[in-house]
Structure 1
Amino acid sequence: MQLYNKLSAKERAELIDKAGKDRLTISFYQYHKIENPQIFRDHLFIEWDKLDVLGRIYVSYEGINAQLSVPAENFKQFKAHLDSIDFLKDVRLNIAVEQDNKSFLKLKIKVRNKIVADGLNDDTFDVTDIGVHLNAEEFNNMLADPNTVCVDMRNHYESEIGHFDGAVTPDVDTFRDSLDIIEEDLKDNKEDKNLLMYCTGGIRCEKASAYYKHKGFKNVFQLEGGIINYVRQVESQELENKFKGKNFVFDHRRAERISDDVVSNCHQCGEPCDTHVNCDNEACHLLFIQCESCSEKMNTCCSEDCKEIAALSFEEQKALRKGKGNSNKIFKKGRSEALKFKK
C-alpha cells in the first residue's frame, strides 16, 4: 500500500485548481504517550489520504503536532476520525484566519523524536505541570497588568513581522535558544512577576510553561490556542485586538494578516514591509523580508551574487550546486550579511 506522496507540488496544485473546491487550513497538537509512533503514523496516512488531507504532521512518543488542510466538504469525516482516537477526541482545532487552498501541497507525516525541537530532557521535570491557560479576554487583562512580563516564544523571523503590544521578543533562531535567555533575563523576578507566554498555536508554550515552573517561576501563564485562537476569540467576542502586524505560519501562505500595522521593514531598503519571500536562488533559498520594489529590482533574490546565479539556466545552476551541501543561510532565516536592514 502506498504510504507516501507520488505527486509533485506542481501536479497537486493543478489538481486543486481543477477540483475548484474550498479547503480549510487547520492546526492542532496533543501531548500523549504513543507506544508505537510508526504504526500510528501509518494509520493516519491511510485514513487521511482517503480524505485528501495535505499537510506537515509530526508524530512521536510524546504526541502529535499537525498543520494541514482538508477539503471543506470532508471536514466532518476528518473530525469524526479524530474523535475516534481516544486522546484526540474533542482536541482543539485552530482554524486559520486566512484560508488558502494551496497552503499545503503534499501529505507528509513524519516520525520524530519530539513533536517540537525543544532540546530538553523531559525526564528531568514534570512536563504535565503546565502553566495556567488564558482565553483572549483574560490574556488582554493580564497583558495590561504592570506586574506582567509578556514573552513571545517564537523565533526572530516570526515575531519580527507581528507581536503583542509590549511583548519581549527574543532575538533567537530556535525555540531552544529562547528558553535559557528568558530564564536569565527574568531570574530576579521568578516570584514577583507574572510570566505570560504566547506562540502561534500554543504548543511551544505548553512545554515552556512546565519548564519554567520547574525552574522556579511561581506565576506562569500561557495563551490558550496561541495567536490563531486568540484572533478567533477577539473577532467573535468583539474584544480589543492587542496583536499588531502579521502572524507567521509554516505553510505556503507564510503569514496571516492580523492587523493593518506594519511593524517590520524590508531587509534590503529599510522601507516598511512585512512580506516574507525565499531567495530565488535555489542554492540559497534564504527567507527574508522584501518589498515589491526590491523584489522587482533584485528578481526576488537576497544579494547580487544570488541574482546572477538565479539568472543562469537550470542546468548551469545545477552544475554549480553539484557536490555542495545546502547553504547554512537556509537555516539562518534573515541572517545573511548581504541584508543591510535585517533585525
Structure 2
Amino acid sequence: MSQIPERVLVQAHLAAREPVPLSAEETEDYKRRIAAALKARNAVLVAHYYTDPVVQALAEETGGCVSDSLEMARFGRDHPATTLVVAGVRFMGETSKILSPEKRVLMPTLEATCSLDIGCPIDEFSSFCDQHPERTVVVYANTSAAVKARADWVVTSSCALQIVEHLMDRGEKILWAPDQHLGNYIQTQTGADMLMWQGSCIVHEEFKAQSLIDLKAVYPEAAVLVHPESPAAVIELADVVGSTSQLIKATETLPNPTFIVATDRGIFYKMQQAAPDRQLIEAPTAGNGATCRSCAHCPWMAMNTLPRVLSSLEQGTDEIEVDSGLIPQAVRPLERMLDFTRQANLGAVGNA
C-alpha cells in the first residue's frame, strides 16, 4: 500500500488531466513563437529531464539546457539572460530564484509541484527538526525554499552518499527529509545514524519488484537502471542505482543492448540521444494503483506544455517569488553542497 499522504494523491489526480494534443503544424507554430518571445524578452528556457520531449528539444534548440534541477538553476545563474523560464516543478523554479534572486523566474504553470515537496510542509518539518536539535538536518533538493532554509545541508541523489559519509565521519547524527526510499538507500550503503521523514515520490513509489523480475526474465540481457527514490525491493534488483544524469551516462557506458529503466519516462529523450542504438523499456509499475495516472510519468511535469510556456512568456504570469528573507538562509546549505562537491571533485551533482 502506498504511504503517500491522501492530500498528495488528490493533488496528483487533479494534475493528471491529459494536455490537449497539438498537431504537427501547431507544435511548430508554438515553437517558432516561443523562440521569438525568448529572444525579445532576453529570456532562456531551462527544462527538466522529465518534461515532454518537445519541451526538452525546444530548450536545446533555443540555447537553453535540459538537465536536473540544480544544474538548471546553475545554468540560469550563469546565463546572461535576465529572465529564466523553468519548465519543471515549483521547487525547481524556487531553486533558480534562490541562486539568481536578481532575475525574473517564470514557470509554464505554478500548479506544477512535487509529491516530495507537498509531503514535507514547513510547519510540520520545523516541528520535527525542533524535536531533534542534536541532529544535522539534511534535505533532498526536491523541497521548498522554506524547507531548504531550515536545513544544514541540501543534497542531490548523486552526492548524497558522499556528503552523508562525510557527516558520519565527523560523528554527526542526521535528520533526513523528505524521501524515505533515498534515505533508506543511503543509510544501507553508509550505516549512518539517520532519522527519516516519511516522504516518497508518486512515480518511483509505483515500481514493483516482482513485475520487474518477470520482465527481466523476458529480457535477460537487459541492464536494470534504478533511481534511488524507488522502493528497496526494486533497488535490490538494479545493475545501476543512480541519479538521473548517472542513469543517462549508464546507457552510454554499459555494453547491454537493452535497458529496463525505473524512473520517469521523460528521461528517454536524453537516453536516446546518448545511446540511439539501445532498446529502452519502462520498468513495470502498479498499473491500476491509487496513483496509476502518474505511473512512470509525473503528472505535474506533464503540465509543462508549449501553450503554457508561451502564455507565461507573453503575459509574464506564473512568476516565482521567494521571500527575500529566506534566500540567504536557503542559499547557505546549497552553497555548502556545491563547495563540498567542488572540493571532492565529484563533478555534476545531478538529482531527480
TM-score, normalised via structure 2 length: 0.29
Q: Which has the higher strand share?
A: 1
Higher helix share: 2
The structure with higher relative contact order (CA 8 Å, sep 6+) is 2
TM-score for the superposition, normalised by structure 1: 0.29
Structure index of larger Rg: 1
